[in-house]
Amino acid sequence: MTRADWTPHRRDDGELLGWILPEGDAWVAIDVLGRPASAPIEWLDAEAALEAHGISWLADPWMLEGEGDRPLRVRIVEVSPDEQGAPGRIVVKVDDFGDVTRPPTQRFVLPWPLPARLRPPRAGDPDSHTFPG
């Protein structure tokens, strides 16, 4: 949940990279999914951590657990952090591998910040070349 003491940090084009929040006499960078992107550090280092972390990783495949026997390979289509008292959300869709000729795939609306059941892929996860046995 974002708080009043979270300072948004944006790229030059205005895209939100995350927030910088106070922690004691230091600052912590938080990415757009609500995860720490740094340990407590100096302000300029927190900005640099968010710049280095970027947001391109949002386009990577993710795994969603708890919707079936096996994790689902999904893509993030929306990230809306908490704002002005409204709860945030993360919307993912079952990975269609960029095939625009396919019918739309199933979408799931998850709470923000990042829930534990949405995670990066690990070795052994199903992918486009793995079929159920």
Least confident of 22-26, 78-82, 97-101: 97-101
Kind of pairing, strands 89-94 and 107-111? antiparallel
- Cβ–Cβ under 8 Å, residues 32 and 88: no
User: 43 and 20 share a domain?
Assistant: yes
53 and 12 in a common domain: yes
Place of tokens 């004691």: 24
pTM, entire model: 0.84
What's the pLDDT score for residue 110?
97
Q: Residue 21 in contact with residue 5, Cβ under 8 Å?
A: yes
Whether 75 and 90 share a structural domain:
yes
For residue 78, what are the domain limits? 60-119
Q: Tally the domains of the chain.
A: 2
Note whether residue 126 is domain-resident: no
The CA distances from residue 34 to 1, 86, 105, 120, in Å, are: 8, 15, 26, 15
pLDDT of residue 13: 94
- Answer whether residue 127 is part of any domain: no
Residue finishing a domain among 57, 72, 98: 57
Same-domain status, 81 and 112: yes
* pLDDT tens-place string over residues 28-73: 999 999 999 999 999 999 999 999 999 999 999 999 999 988 899 9
User: Could you tell me if 43 and 74 lie in one domain?
Assistant: no
Question: Do 30 and 69 belong together in one domain?
Answer: no
Query: Is residue 45 domain-shared with residue 65, that is, in the same domain?
Result: no
Residues 70 and 114 in one domain: yes
Residue among 32, 80, 34 nearest 56 (CA) = 32
Peptide bond preceding 113 in cis form (omega within 30 of 0)? yes
Same domain, 66 and 111: yes
Q: Are residues 109 and 65 in the same domain?
A: yes
Which residue, 23, 9, 27, 22, is CA-closest to 81?
9
Q: Which amino acid is at 37?
A: A
